[in-house]
Amino acid sequence: MAKIVSLLQQKGGVGKTTISVHLATQIKETFPDLKVAVADADPQQSATVWITKGNGKAGVHVFPVAQDGEGKNLKSELSEVEADLVIMDLPPAIASVSMRAALYSDLMLVPVGASALDIEAAKTAISVCKEAIELDATKQFLLVPNRVQLNSAAGRELRSVLTKFGPVSEATLCLRVAYADSVMHGIGINKFAPSSPAYQEIGMLAEEVVRMLKLKGGRSS
């Protein structure tokens, strides 16, 4: 069965879809032998719109899951996917679909912005991740600082604040227009802005995810 990575956060607009698509396309580029897919569990279908807009240029497939809004069939939907790695984009709610996603994920990523409200809002998702890990200690989670402005005190301090709540990704994703502009072209940063700072950031996150999941050259060990 594919390794499952889910993007969880009840707060809207924190970067779940952005990270899902850029991470999937970046991992596919760095590890071309890996079969990478995006599972879109959000009724807004943002990841689907983004990837289909590119007519295959993104290099990863996207497929809908949890169309019932609750994810009652999520386990079987995921088990049927022919992929080594599935990145699952979730809606902005810790509803049953997100709880189920946590149960079936190997790695949960929680994007968090630098404001106090963002950090407060992440606490529910962090609790869900910790509960899932209590049930199955092989699961992992990471807080992913996103939309960070390093020229602000809050941005510079975010990493040290977040370490009080859980493990923080090595990569800090800054506020960069390339992350948003690539959507219009239906591609990820790897094709939209290769060698840009955004590419370096997503590349670092991609390598960390692949390492955590022990995925190497197309196979999980």
Q: Which residues form the interface with ligand ATP (CB under 6 A)?
A: 12-18, 42, 44, 46, 92, 146-147, 173, 175-176, 179-180
Of 40-48, 139-147, 155-163, 210-218: span binding Mg ion (CB under 5 A): 40-48
On whether the CB atoms of residues 149 and 175 are closer than 8 A, the answer is yes
Residues 6+ apart with CB under 8 A from 153: none
Alpha-carbon distance of 189 to 186, in angstroms, equals 10
Q: Quick one: 178 exposed, middle or buried, by C-beta within 10 A (0-12, 13-18, 19+)?
A: middle
- Asked if residue 17 binds Mg ion (CB under 5 A), the reply is yes
- Work out how close the CB of 98 gets to ligand ATP at its nearest, in angstroms, rounded to a whole number: 11
Residue that the structure tokens 């019932």 belong to = 68
**Rounded Cα gap, residues 162 and 191, in angstroms:** 31
CB 97 to Mg ion: min, Å: 13
Binding of residue 46 to Mg ion (CB under 5 A): yes
12 vs 56, which CB is nearer to ligand ATP? 12
Distance CA 33, CA 133 (A): 29
Task: Choose which of 11, 16, 22, 139 interacts with Mg ion (CB under 5 A).
Answer: 16
Tell the smallest beta-carbon distance from residue 179 to Mg ion (Å): 13
Residue nearest to Mg ion (CB): 17
Report strand pairing: 107-112 vs 140-145.
parallel
CB of residue 111 to ligand ATP, shortest distance in Å: 6
Which one of ligand ATP, Mg ion, none interacts with residue 147, CB within 5 to 8 A by kind? ligand ATP
Interface ranges with Mg ion (CB under 5 A)? 16-17, 46
